[in-house]
Structure 1
């Protein structure tokens, strides 16, 4: 008759080995979670881009943190100095105000109301592109962009949901000063007498900065022209430089032209390229 084997110290080792085997198999089950999570994150990213195209501030803000902060990382490739990277830390509770009317991020985060203009590869412009790709660390970049693209969206988890952790944006011009759009033309024509200043002497003219007038942006169109002063109506000033429209023009339309006084009798045309509804 076979006698029962006596209990020895080896038996606990067998039990321990079996427990360790089960423990090491647990990550294999959890390995499917990131895949599912990635799919959920990709869907969240697509919904975010669609929300931005829709233009509802409350819907867009819902993708951002409610309690924590998030970062707005801006790469400035301006003409006034070397490339700069500026990071703004935004409280989640302030997001809707930031992207609403008059907010500093209205143009960038509300693609339905943004006027991308000449700023190439900006966040607002890339929002309309399909096929943003996941490059790891919960970051997405536009199609064709490098992994370390300055334009990106990065996510994190908050209260069990995916929320925006950081947004990377590119800007070709200087940031607005105290909420005043760059290149703003004053309607107060009494500020300076005609002929006191000429655009050829102004840095903003040499740097090809756009002009902002009546909620529209204007960029240079062709070369300066010789025009009769009687054909133009003075509508405002940019610094010390007089700005004109064609005499009889209703003013402030995308199809209209602006003219800056470059030198006596010579005027640089500017053409409008879209509304700025975020003012």
Structure 2
């Protein structure tokens, strides 16, 4: 995976704090479609220190959102090896999400200012634990804002991404790193998650640790998503569009 800029780091400042997003690129294999980019990402920062439990006050954020960065990087690894993507892919990891989407806002603006031809963006947010058996495997924020989910599911061959009513109620579309990309590019940009507020007790908690993650579930999610993403990356036209509402 090549750096998109001269180096992998996209540097920004918040007051006296210096932050870094990481940006890698997998060039598409189609001479025309490679000019269009699909952005995949997740945030690698967390809240720092939380309420102390058994002498531990460091909040590592395994689910929130190391799990999402793993998804983005695994997709990167897959397509860098398979080279089956006609459109180009950006693999993006953000800092300062917990400070108010500051990292992704900086990167989205920079890419927009530089004239990136962005097609769509998917942010992976907390995919470390499975949902109940009777629910869709994952859900997408801003479900009704585009036709992304039905098209992804069509290529995946099953309903990987479903509708979650609370996502709208909790305004999740505006609370994750997809939102700055929607704002800058006015394109389909969503967060996909398997955390639904009933299946993980350690949100912003020091016990959000690696040993709480379900790695079989994460691998299954990533493997089911690959044909869905590949279908969208390789379609001859931009099938995914914003809804009228």
Name the structure, 1 or 2, with higher relative contact order (CA <8 Å, separation 6+): 2
Question: Is TM more than 0.5 here?
Answer: no
**TM-score normalised by the chain length of structure 1:** 0.21
Q: Could you say which structure has the higher strand fraction?
A: 1
